[in-house]
Amino acid sequence: MNLFRLTLKSLRQRRAGVVLTVLTIALSVFLVLGVERVRTDAREGFASTVSGTDLLVGARSGPVNLLLYAVFHVGEATNNITWKTYQDIRAMPEVAWTVPLSLGDSHRGFRVTGTTSAFFEHYHYGGGRALRFDQGGPFDDLYDAVIGAEVAHRLGYHVGDRIVLAHGVAATSASLHADKPFRIKGILAPTGTPVDASIAVSLEAIEAIHVDWRAGVRLPGMATSADQARHMDLTPRAITACLVGLKSRLSVFAVQRALNDYDEEPLLAVLPGVALGELWRLVGTAEGALRIVSAMVLLVGMCGMLTALLGMLDERRREMAVLRAVGASVRTVFGLLVMESALLTLAGCVIGVLLLSLVSVLARDALLLQAGLSIDIVPSLHEGVLLAAIFAMGVLAGCIPGWIAYRRSLADGLQVRL
């Protein structure tokens, strides 16, 4: 206790240097934990882009390619699935639910997904979280649309606004479905998934806007008005892919094998979690870079603290000698410097964690909307281990000036320098 009180008094005598040192450590802790939290949450968010779906089924290509165009809306499908095949999949006794997906259109750079109301019921993300509406609700009219949070934010849309879809990803006047505008019925809450950057309409709506199109080209002299399309048979002829949920996950491999061996047309059924893991191995090289950044930030922080301690030690040589002269042992001097280092590191860790928690709370919605990152506010066990390692490094850093003070003689501090 005497050593602890002596340490506190010594720190109070050097307030300016102590405050700067603590701030250096706090910023280092903030950056290290921040980078680790972003790295971990990015990986977990990527892995849970699709949650609760047992199989993703599309035309035969490759697992990563199927995942990219069906879930992440990157690239184009090599082929479609006929509506009859989709009906056969839905009728399988092991299947509990299905969600059809029809892709190929866009609006001002954002992909359009044709689906059913089952999409809002069965699409889950982030370990089982369901989709929620910020405004409005699901589509119930042929020309209703539901937009993601990013679409609403970037384009400034609100419920009730009118939008025009485009054929493919182009936005030229020749590719616009201007004769059949849509009304925004609902806006989804941010999810941090590709859903935020997509527009959902009904499968019948996809058919309606293409009744006078063939092979991606508008048929001359075959214009069909929006009202005329309402009275036509809008049963889909094909879809791009579908999400499948099973009654029992024990049957997932049997159903996957049956779909991959389907006789009517070549299909590919993949487990979303496995495909996401494979895709992360391809694009997750940035995770290693973030680890290197974390290590470098931590190293700079510890070096800064060590530099401050050594700089203060030169100014305190006479103080150390006076302590020795009044009876303090060499071990006491060593313990004083190590305890100072421990207290500085502890204070920096506490302030760094509080700062990170504050920033996480204030910037959580912005990060989710702008970067698709769902940041956890509560520190994880991994962060606790990392903090313990930082504290241990701080204590070890304090041993260096302690060892230097241990080696210096009494006369070194009391001699007069001219």
pLDDT for 291-350, tens place per residue?
Answer: 777 778 777 767 776 776 666 666 665 666 666 566 656 666 677 777 778 888 888 889
Structure tokens at 319: 């103080």
Q: Where are the alpha helices (DSSP H) in 184-329?
A: 203-208, 226-230, 252-260, 272-283, 285-315, 317-325
1 SS3 class: coil
Confidence of residue 409 (pLDDT cuts 50, 70, 90): very low
Question: CA-based angle 274:50:243, to the nearest 5?
Answer: 90
DSSP state of 200: E
Query: For residue 183, which of 201, 168, 198 has the smallest C-alpha distance?
Result: 201
Distances in whole angstroms, Cα of residue 118 to Cα of each of 99, 146, 222? 6, 13, 33
pLDDT, residue 164, reads: 93
Indicate the average pLDDT of the chain: 82
Q: What percent of the chain has pLDDT over 90?
A: 35
Of 53-57, 63-67, 245-249, 392-396, least confident by mean pLDDT is 392-396
**What is the amino acid identity at position 251?**
S
Distances in whole angstroms, Cα of residue 388 to Cα of each of 29, 358, 395? 11, 21, 11
Alpha-carbon distance 106 to 306, whole Å?
A: 56
Alpha-carbon distance 364 to 210, whole Å?
A: 40
Confidence of residue 103 (pLDDT cuts 50, 70, 90): very high
Structure tokens at 329: 């042992």
| Mean pLDDT (whole number) for 388-398 | 81
pTM, two decimal places:
0.73
